[in-house]
Structure 1
Amino acid sequence: MRVQKILVAVAVVGFTLVGCKTENSSTTEKTAVVAAKQQMVTLNISGMTCEIGCAKTIQSKLSKKEGVLEAKVIFKDSIANIQFDANKTSKKDLIAFVNGIAGGDLYKATEASK
């Protein structure tokens, strides 16, 4: 009976320690999100011929790129509005990324003038 009490006490202490570690790591992740250096860029994209095949593909690929927080491609205006973390990517990287989609032969991106 005494051995069972000791084992239960050890198990409770172990679960408490594991629970505290998980809580601390989620706090660290939240801090990292706040530290993001958010910027916005609008790119002119030439070479898009359709909304579903071109615009949606570019938007989907941009949304998955590391550092991109939000991407919206507007086919009728031939532009992409991209919100990104400047600590992880840059305007130059985003332009090169769009230019490289579909083997680099279809799309040409340039930064829109303000």
Structure 2
Amino acid sequence: MKVQKIIYSIAIVCFVLIGCKENKEPKKEVKKESVALAISGMTCEIGCAKTIQSKLSKKEGVIDAKVVFTDSIANIEFDANTTSKKDLIAFVDGIAGGDLYKASESTSTNTSKEHNCSDACKEKCEHKMGDKTACKEDCKMACCADKKS
């Protein structure tokens, strides 16, 4: 009876060791790409822009997403191995049932940390400091908020 228990114990240990063996598949390298999408149909910053940004951030393959309501632009950094520009455009078009927003690839790829503000924002929020442009302290527009951070 003791021999039988020992054999069962050894068999269980073998199954546990084999079952717990770590899968050592090589991870695919992330292929980072960026895209700027022009989004029409946004009517407010909280309900539209923040919702789109939140949903994009949760999409598989999206590394970072920033939606600027004042410019109607979404700057997206993504893994090209997982998703594509075409998928991202279709994803934004499908938010809210597909009736509210329309996305297209923007010609101005505004994905750098230095944000180019729209003309309206420049007039209201920016001032020159020597050879540099700075945001006015009391500006609440998104483009200046991006520059302050």
- Which TM-score tier does this pair reach, normalised by the shorter chain? 0.7 to 0.9
1:2 is matched with 3
Q: Which of the residues 25, 33, 42 maps onto 2:36?
A: 42
**Unmatched 5+ stretches in structure 1:** none
Cα distance in 2 for partners of 1:100, 1:2 equals 65
1:99 is matched with 93
Residues 68-108 of structure 1 deviation map (CA, whole Å, 9 limit, x = unaligned): 23322222332211112223332233223222322333223
1:13 is matched with 14
- Equivalent positions of 1:8-87 (< 5 A) are 8-20=9-21, 23-24=22-23, 27-28=24-25, 31-32=27-28, 34=29, 36-87=30-81
Determine which structure has more spread, i.e. the larger CA radius of gyration.
2
- Given residue 64 of structure 2, which amino acid in structure 1 is its aligned partner? E
**Unmatched 5+ stretches in structure 2:** 110-149
Tell me the SS of whatever aligns to 2:20.
helix
- Which runs of at least 4 in structure 1 moved beyond 6 Å after TM superposition? none
Cα distance in 1 for partners of 2:103, 2:92 equals 6
Tell me the SS of whatever aligns to 1:31.
coil
TM-score when normalising by structure 1? 0.75
Q: Aligned residues: percent identity? A: 63
- Given residue 108 of structure 1, which amino acid in structure 2 is its aligned partner? K
Tell me the SS of whatever aligns to 1:7.
helix
Cα distance in 1 for partners of 2:87, 2:6 equals 60
RMSD: 2.1
Number of corresponding residues? 107
